[in-house]
Amino acid sequence: MSPILGIYASQISGHLWAPSGAYDSIATTTVGAGGAATITFSSIPSTYTHLQVRYMGMTSRATYGQDAMNVAFNGVGGTSYSRHDLRADGSAVSAGSATSQGTIDLNYATLGTTVSSYPGVGVIDILDYANTSKYKTLRYLGGVDENGTIAGYPGAVVYASGLFQSTSAISSITFTPQLAAFAQYTSFALYGIKGN
């Protein structure tokens, strides 16, 4: 690069145009050697249209190759949440639902375990999270590959939707594994989505 072009490029740094639908990294958390009971993103800015969480995670559950995970917003519990889910493991398909819950239960095959050494992976979209005129919805796609069957359970994929019955803007998200703590190297990344 010529010196003149380098000068021009340095002048536009920080002022680049971001197209509608662009993603910005907000925060990333990676669990250390001691494990973690929960992972929370707090003080989330309200300047985006939607949020997305991408994760790769395991728990220290000692028996099975998969675990489940709950999601809550703004520290709210009670009966504010509902969910639907579909789960498929290569030989069977199941569906479930729950209403008036204390969290959104993403059900099994969302996290791997240290028994299998295979992490679960997933993408969670939180739509219109800052809109104070509507309830908030979540959609999830993820799963676990166990390289076979562990304790009678094969790997599986899950598609789920969730509802948070609140018009408050979402400013914090807490993830809690259901049966054991998050294991070392579990990683969650939060992104803000611009535009429509």
pLDDT per residue over 71-106, tens digit each? 999 999 999 999 999 999 988 999 999 999 999 999
Q: Is residue 12 part of a domain?
A: no
Q: Is residue 120 part of a domain?
A: yes
Per-residue pLDDT reduced to its tens digit, 19-56:
566 889 999 999 999 999 999 999 999 999 999 999 99
CATH number for the domain including 52?
2.60.120
Round to whole Å and give the CA distance between 145 and 154.
Answer: 8
Q: Is residue 79 part of a domain?
A: yes
pLDDT class of 107 with cuts at 50, 70, 90: confident
Q: Is residue 55 part of a domain?
A: yes
Q: Is residue 5 part of a domain?
A: no
133: phi then psi, degrees, rounded to nearest 5? -110, 5
Contacts of 11 (CB under 8 A, 6+ apart): none
Round to whole Å and give the CA distance between 174 and 40.
Answer: 4
Residue 5 host element (H or E): helix 3-12
Residue 12 host element (H or E): helix 3-12
CB 66 within 8 A of CB 109: yes
Query: What is the arrangement of strands in the sheet containing 39-41, beginning at the earlier edge strand?
Result: 39-41, 173-177, 69-73, 104-105
Instruction: Provide the whole-model pTM.
Output: 0.88
Q: Is residue 133 part of a domain?
A: yes
Q: Is residue 152 part of a domain?
A: yes
Structural domains in the chain (count)? 1
- Give the domain extent around 160: 18-193
Among residues 12, 16, 13, the alpha carbon closest in space to that of 194 is found at: 16
Q: Is residue 2 part of a domain?
A: no
CB 51 within 8 A of CB 69: no
pLDDT class of 8 with cuts at 50, 70, 90: very low
Per-residue pLDDT reduced to its tens digit, 128-179:
999 999 999 999 999 999 888 998 889 999 999 999 999 999 999 999 999 9
Q: Which of 16-20, 48-52, 55-59, 113-117 has the lowest mean pLDDT?
A: 16-20
